[in-house]
Amino acid sequence: MRLLRALIRNRAATATDHADPGLRTRRYSAPLPLVREDAREIADGGLAGWKVTDESEADGWIRAEATTRFFRFVDDVEIELRADDGDRTRVDVRSASRVGVTDLGANARRIRRFLRQLDRAVAGGD
């Protein structure tokens, strides 16, 4: 049953208690402006096929489109950034396919890839 549910999804999102560690909410020991800058750079060309379409610094989100390589499907990504306990930053990500009943795990892979890049960028102080 779990496999069937996974096959008919066309979206994915992080959560603080997600069963997949790669899809858990991130909390960084870095101030919000620095994490936002890293997240924006990654979302605007730092990953193949991604480009930022809208953002609100005041409301704490970045929206991007991610175009798949083979079929050229365009999917929507939203990155939410919040200050968390002083100089810490909390990051949640959602990705959703615009078409189709299933994404065969593409949205979850996209989020994991983004978060791995962000983990490296924040840890490296870039």
Report the 10 Å Cβ neighbour count for 41: 16
User: Distance of alpha carbon 30 from its chain centroid, rounded?
Assistant: 18
CATH number at residue 120: 3.30.310.80
Range of the domain at 60: 2-124
Number of domains in the chain: 1
pTM above 0.85, yes or no: yes
Show pLDDT as tens, one digit a residue, over the chain (126 residues). Answer: 555 555 567 899 999 999 999 999 999 999 999 999 999 999 999 999 999 999 999 999 999 999 988 778 899 999 999 998 878 999 999 999 988 767 788 899 999 999 999 999 999 865
Could you tell me the CA-to-CA distances from 74 to 98, 103, 107 in Å, in that order? 7, 12, 11
